[in-house]
Chain A
Amino acid sequence: MTKYTIRKDEERQIVINRPGEYAIELVGEGARVEILGALVATGSERLVVDITSLHRVPHTSCDIFIRAVATDRSQVFLSGMIKIGRGAQQTNAFLRENVLLVSPWARAEALPRLEIEADDVHASHAATVGKIDEEQIFYLRSRGFSRTVASKMIVDGFLNAVRERIKH
């Protein structure tokens, strides 16, 4: 398990490049964290990403944005948990998990969870699992791209939404 501790007034971006368990703890007021991940599962891989964000003090924020593409016979498991402890008021937490299934044999499981024990907070999560939109393929093909190229463009666009936010 990889652990991160975000201290008072610290602002941090964490990029998740490989599967695993990640625990993020916000321990000082004003701590802010952005967690980004753009992942691709191939072959018969079983890609597991488990992220927990624990808010112990008031005035912290966390924004988790994970996108994964499942190809071939791969399986994607995205598990996320936002815990806001008692008294951790004025917390902003957002968890977003999107999975794109590009092969008929690909599988996915998404578990976006929340445990909230403070009332003056904004906490939300959103998860989607879907395939490539046929209308987008149709549009690109009508512009002269082959099906393979069109699919690749859509997959790239899907992951770029996360990649664009990564600071170097």
Chain B
Amino acid sequence: MSRFAPIQIPKIKSPSIRDGYRYGFSMPTDRYEFMSRPGLSKRVVEEISFYKHEPMWMREFRLSALGIFQAKPTPIWGGNLGTINYDAIHYYLRPTTGLKRRWEDVPVEIKRTFDRLGIPEAERKALSGVKAQYDSEVVYGSLRKLLQKQGIVFLSMDEGLREHPDLVRQHFGKLIPPADNKFSALNSAVWSGGSFVYVPKGVTVQLPLQAYFRINAPNAGQFERTLIIADEGSSVHYIEGCTAPAYSSESLHSAVVEIFVKKGARVQYTTVQNWYKTVYNLVTKRAWVEEEGEMVWTDFNMGSKLTMKYPSFFLAGKGARGETLSMAMAGAGQHQDTGSKAIHLAPHTTSTIVSKSVSRGGGRTSYRGLVSISPQARGSKSKVVCDALLLDPESRSDTYPTNRILCSDVSLAHEATVSKIGEEQLFYLMSRGLNEEAASKMIVSGFVEPLIKKLPLEYAIEMNRLIDLEMEGSVG
């Protein structure tokens, strides 16, 4: 090809299913560097390890996890997992070679995808650093110069393993071992991508770090692995967003996120999960919080076919704090089985879990949670509030909390309510000139507002817009 030949820009395939999902487009996969054949086997796991030039211990870690995955039965609680076809999934999709540091170097299809999702714009405006993962690999990464100088590490997990092997080996799989559950075993066997974050002692990262996860190929499996270490007295806010094309075939996303919050440190982890409605989202997230440390999970689930995710914190040091703010919206064909786990292991620890869910169009939301206060956690406090809103008679809402108290010097309170949009509220708003749809939207916005307020402004605006889109046409 002459160097003056026009660059071929592939056409974006637009979704055939019209359901108000803005991110349903996809790009061709014919230029992918490697795609594993569908199905899971020892060979696939070895291929992944080979392509990544991994150390021996990681290859063995993967193979042993594969055995655990195959041996463990499928959980029968939560959502319906019996319908996952493991043989149809591609477990490793390598779209391109290497991670790019400059946006210009990213291959054109991928660049167009992320442009359409608004990533570079967001990066310029409100972020300290960005990672963009496309199917199995992180294809682009950046971190502001100033932060690099302060010793902050923000790499893809694969780079982290290469550049900080000791730190990774010390922490990897220690909080969520492969045998924790069937899907942590699956992730441990075939993990690829994700982020590795280290914040040095006393450093506060002012603007959030963002990771963007995009599934592009049909029948894709995405298994990112994230490890965040916040050293003593440091503070960081990590945000992840997820979208996928509108395929009628099913995809599988199963991540593992481990967070170590050292003495006096603070980590906030925000998820805006907006997968297409054919993605299984089965994720294990856990934080270990030391003395006077604080962990905040802000977990927003709107997409996917089935989500099972219960971000947890072990309050392991005296005075440690944990907070989960969980919001779930389920529409037709969706089941959001979400919640949180608070494990109090040390004295004077506090946990707060606030969950808000909206079910509509036959969708189902379930809150599933655990508060466990161990004998040595004297003077601990825990408060759990679950509110559910049902928008029509076809939808369903469940609450399944477990409160296990093994120490008498505690205070635990749990409350939950399920309700519908009040006729009086609607009547009042409609008498002020709003139509029913606008009035319903306003009530739902007010219902979730206490959680949205915890997000940085740009994200709060985006969330409100997404909720409006979800609610579009829900009345009538």
Residues on A close to B: CB < 8 A?
Answer: 70, 86-87, 89, 99, 101-131
Smallest CB separation, A110 vs chain B (Å): 4
Once the chains bind, are B405 and A109 in contact (CB under 8 Å)?
A: yes
Once the chains bind, are B420 and A114 in contact (CB under 8 Å)?
A: no
Once the chains bind, are A111 and B392 in contact (CB under 8 Å)?
A: no
Which chain B residue shows the least CB distance to A105? B408
Q: Mark B263-302, 1 if CB is under 8 A from A, else 0.
A: 0000000000000000000000000000000000000000
> Once the chains are docked, how many angstroms separate the CA of A131 from the CA of B417?
25
> Once the chains are docked, how many angstroms separate the CA of A99 from the CA of B390?
30
B388 close to chain A: CB less than 8 A: yes
Cβ 8 A contact of A123, one of B403, B409, B417: B417
Smallest CB separation, B363 vs chain A (Å): 12
Smallest CB separation, B371 vs chain A (Å): 9
B17 close to chain A: CB less than 8 A: no
B76 close to chain A: CB less than 8 A: no
Which chain B residue shows the least CB distance to A96? B415
Residues on B close to A: CB < 8 A?
Answer: 388, 390-393, 395-406, 408-420
Once the chains bind, are A109 and B393 in contact (CB under 8 Å)?
A: no
A130 contacts across to B, CB distance below 8 A: 410-412
Once the chains bind, are B414 and A103 in contact (CB under 8 Å)?
A: no
> Once the chains are docked, how many angstroms separate the CA of A124 from the CA of B367?
13
Smallest CB separation, B186 vs chain A (Å): 29
Once the chains bind, are A87 and B403 in contact (CB under 8 Å)?
A: no
> Once the chains are docked, how many angstroms separate the CA of A70 from the CA of B417?
27
> Once the chains are docked, how many angstroms separate the CA of A113 from the CA of B384?
13
A70 contacts across to B, CB distance below 8 A: 408
Given A101-B408, A113-B400, A123-B417, 9 extra CB contacts under 8 A: A101-B405, A106-B408, A111-B402, A116-B390, A121-B420, A125-B399, A126-B415, A129-B411, A131-B409
Once the chains bind, are B408 and A124 in contact (CB under 8 Å)?
A: no
Once the chains bind, are A111 and B403 in contact (CB under 8 Å)?
A: yes
Contacts A113-B398, A116-B390, A116-B398; A123 near B418 (Cβ below 8 A): yes
Once the chains bind, are A116 and B417 in contact (CB under 8 Å)?
A: no
Once the chains bind, are B395 and A119 in contact (CB under 8 Å)?
A: yes
Main SS of the interface on chain B? strand
> Once the chains are docked, how many angstroms separate the CA of A104 from the CA of B400?
27
Contacts A102-B408, A110-B414, A131-B409; A119 near B403 (Cβ below 8 A): no
Smallest CB separation, A160 vs chain B (Å): 21
Top 10 nearest A-B pairs by Cβ distance? A101-B408, A119-B390, A124-B417, A114-B399, A129-B412, A127-B414, A126-B415, A123-B418, A119-B420, A110-B403
Which chain B residue shows the least CB distance to A84? B418
Once the chains bind, are A116 and B397 in contact (CB under 8 Å)?
A: yes
B400 contacts across to A, CB distance below 8 A: 111, 113
B420 contacts across to A, CB distance below 8 A: 119-121
Smallest CB separation, B5 vs chain A (Å): 60
A115 contacts across to B, CB distance below 8 A: 396, 398
A86 contacts across to B, CB distance below 8 A: 393
A117 contacts across to B, CB distance below 8 A: 395-396
> Once the chains are docked, how many angstroms separate the CA of A109 from the CA of B419?
26
B403 contacts across to A, CB distance below 8 A: 108-111, 127, 129
> Once the chains are docked, how many angstroms separate the CA of A123 from the CA of B396?
12
B419 contacts across to A, CB distance below 8 A: 121-123
Smallest CB separation, B96 vs chain A (Å): 47
B413 contacts across to A, CB distance below 8 A: 126-128
Smallest CB separation, A24 vs chain B (Å): 18
Cβ 8 A contact of B404, one of A89, A109, A114: A109
Cβ 8 A contact of B412, one of A89, A122, A124, A128: A128
Smallest CB separation, B444 vs chain A (Å): 14
Smallest CB separation, A78 vs chain B (Å): 9
> Once the chains are docked, how many angstroms separate the CA of A122 from the CA of B390?
11
Which chain A residue shows the least CB distance to B389? A119
B412 contacts across to A, CB distance below 8 A: 110, 127-130
In the complex, 11 of the A-B residue pairs with CB atoms within 8 angstroms, ordered by the A residue number, are A87-B393, A107-B406, A110-B412, A119-B391, A123-B418, A127-B403, A127-B413, A128-B411, A129-B403, A129-B405, A130-B412
Which chain B residue shows the least CB distance to A70? B408
Once the chains bind, are B405 and A107 in contact (CB under 8 Å)?
A: yes
> Once the chains are docked, how many angstroms separate the CA of A115 from the CA of B359?
13
B395 contacts across to A, CB distance below 8 A: 117, 119
Smallest CB separation, A85 vs chain B (Å): 10
Once the chains bind, are B416 and A125 in contact (CB under 8 Å)?
A: yes
Cβ 8 A contact of B408, one of A87, A104, A120, A121: A104
> Once the chains are docked, how many angstroms separate the CA of A112 from the CA of B402?
8
